[in-house]
Structure 1
Amino acid sequence: MSDDAPISAAEAGLMACGHCGQIMEHRDGPIACPRCGGSVRPRKPASLSRTWALLLTAIILYVPANLLPIMETSSLLVTSRDTIIGGVVYFWHSGSPGLAALIFSVSILVPVLKMCILAILALTVQFGWPLDRRQCITLFHVIEFVGRWSMLDVFVVALMVGLVRFKGLAVIEAGPGAIAFGLVVALTMLATHSFDPRLIWDSPRRALG
């Protein structure tokens, strides 16, 4: 490392209060901020293990979320139970390709990419993969931003239910897959919140400690 290479606050022996921004000497255990009295920790406790636990649970639940029906549609002629993919196909053939594409993006594409990116970041921290740290931080900010829109598909389906009922075309009810998918969304949000991005700048030994 060159002499002018940037170093982290931990490497400089410093840490900041997350409540008021007070800079103080780095310590391993939690301490009280001398300015505001808030609890200060150098890193989120058990960040990596909690992230893995939440992420793996979300990955497991994503299987029934896709296999179980997320939507039950009843009309005068037929009654169908559709999975996420089946729902996308239903809206596509019912003349709403834009809505079908939106549901596919927020219900399948985005959750898979989010879980993959978070897994890559966790593996990078755990095994010290030689990835560009600035790019890793950018990826974390991306999934953090996407997490704010994680429930968009729920609102879209609710809106479509109201629209279909208003037109008197059919009755749409949420299926058991919707519960599993809602848990997946919640768990990925919690996993992202549990992950401490500062670990990306630490050495593997310190990140695990």
Structure 2
Amino acid sequence: MEDKRCKVCEEILPDSGSSFFVACKNCGTINHVGSKAGPLLSLMCATSALILYVPANLLPFMSLEVYGNKNTATIWEGIVTLSQGGSWGIAIVVFLASILIPFAKLIILFYLGLSAKSQGQQKLRTRLYNIVEVIGRWSMLDIFLLAVLVAVMKMGPWAHAEPGAGAWIFALVVIFTMISSAAFDPTTIWKNTYDKKS
């Protein structure tokens, strides 16, 4: 079995045991090394995120109080309001970052976790995994936008904004999605093929 090396300094990594991550003794970089529990953990986290995705989009994402009038809105209501106000660009970004991309990523992770030990369609599953890796950097965009909006709206006694239940649940969706993505070991896609050939 080939030794796993650090992604930064290429030092041979110590045995990770059952851990998904191991620190390099030479440079201290945290390396993802995967484990036998990876596909199962990835599938469980993707399933949890999919379940939480529904209330995250149905419950109020933010409440805004201006001059004593309090309004709450879900993510979708916020997108509709932005588009009706003529801010189509922002509405599209929020739709992509908050609804479409997270859902697509969760469906892909769920499929990858479910089919991790199956044979066939390795190229398709590898492409799907690469898509997840590319769009992963956008996972926290909507939470970041909310934080910026809340910071901007803290304008003293006449305006106040705070995250709603939907925002907190969506943060959990993001966390479970990140764990699912990190736990999935892409080598499992091709492992059965190599084992069959050897």
Could you tell me the TM-score, scaled by structure 2's length?
A: 0.75
Runs of 4+ residues deviating >4 angstroms? 162-166
The 5-angstrom pairing of residues 99-178 of structure 1 reads 99-128=90-119, 130-131=120-121, 133-163=122-152, 171-178=160-167
| CA root-mean-square deviation | 3.0
Q: Measure the CA separation in 1 of the matches of 2:11 and 2:123.
A: 22
Q: Which residue of 2 aligns with 1:61?
A: 52
Q: Measure the CA separation in 1 of the matches of 2:88 and 2:165.
A: 25
- Give the partner amino acid of 1:82: A
Q: Measure the CA separation in 1 of the matches of 2:175 and 2:46.
A: 10
1:156-202, Cα deviation, whole Å (9 max, x unpaired): 22333445566x99543210110000010011011000000000002
Alpha-carbon spacing, 1:98–1:169, altered in 2? closer, same or farther (3 Å): farther
What is the percentage of aligned positions where both structures have the same residue? 34
Contact 1:69–1:81 (Cα < 8 Å) also in 2: yes
Alpha-carbon spacing, 1:158–1:90, altered in 2? closer, same or farther (3 Å): farther
Pick from 178, 195, 200 the counterpart of residue 184 of structure 2: 195
* 1:16 matches 2:3: yes
Q: Which residue of 2 aligns with 1:183?
A: 172
- Structure 2: runs of 5 or more not aligned: 19-24, 27-32
Q: CA deviation at 1:90?
A: 2.2
1:31-66, Cα deviation, whole Å (9 max, x unpaired): xxxxx89xxxx9513111111111111111112111
Q: Measure the CA separation in 2 of the matches of 1:92 and 1:152.
A: 19
- Give the partner amino acid of 1:151: M
- Structure 1: runs of 5 or more not aligned: 1-13, 23-28, 31-35
* Max Rg structure: 1
SS of residue paired to 1:15: coil
1:74-108, Cα deviation, whole Å (9 max, x unpaired): 23484321111011122223342211111111010
Equivalenced residue count is 175
Alpha-carbon spacing, 1:55–1:77, altered in 2? closer, same or farther (3 Å): same
Contact 2:117–2:192 (Cα < 8 Å) also in 1: no
Alpha-carbon spacing, 1:160–1:169, altered in 2? closer, same or farther (3 Å): farther
Could you tell me the TM-score, scaled by structure 1's length?
A: 0.72
Pick from 78, 81, 92 the counterpart of residue 87 of structure 1: 78
1:90-141, Cα deviation, whole Å (9 max, x unpaired): 222334221111111101001100011112222222343x31x233222212
* 1:45 matches 2:36: yes
1:5-47, Cα deviation, whole Å (9 max, x unpaired): xxxxxxxxx423133366xxxxxx88xxxxx89xxxx951311
